[in-house]
């Protein structure tokens, strides 16, 4: 049991840190990728004038 506990702690303290750092980086790169700006702006506007029926 103790061994498992130590292992888990070690894993959480090392791997956990790096995977969260990597994830944050990925998210930031994705959101700030220049060519993504256009679709994002379009998406933001798209809800303002969503029509009253589904598209065919």
Which spans of this chain sit near another protein (rule: CB under 8 A)?
Answer: 9, 12, 20, 23-24, 27-28, 30-32, 37, 39-56
Cα–Cα distance measured from residue 12 to residue 18, given in angstroms and rounded to the nearest whole number = 10
Whichever of 3 and 55 has its CB closer to another protein, that residue is 55
Whichever of 18 and 42 has its CB closer to another protein, that residue is 42
Question: In 3-state terms, what secondary structure has residue 52?
Answer: coil
Q: Residues 6 or more apart from 30 whose CB is under 8 A from it? A: 36
Q: How far is the CB of 6 from another protein (least distance, A)?
A: 12
């Amino acid at each position: 049991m103790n061994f498992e506990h130590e292992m888990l702690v070690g894993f959480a303290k090392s791997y956990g840190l790096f995977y969260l750092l990597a994830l944050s980086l990925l998210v930031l790169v994705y959101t700030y990728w220049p060519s993504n700006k256009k679709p994002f702006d379009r998406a933001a506007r798209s809800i303002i004038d969503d029509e009253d029926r589904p598209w065919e």
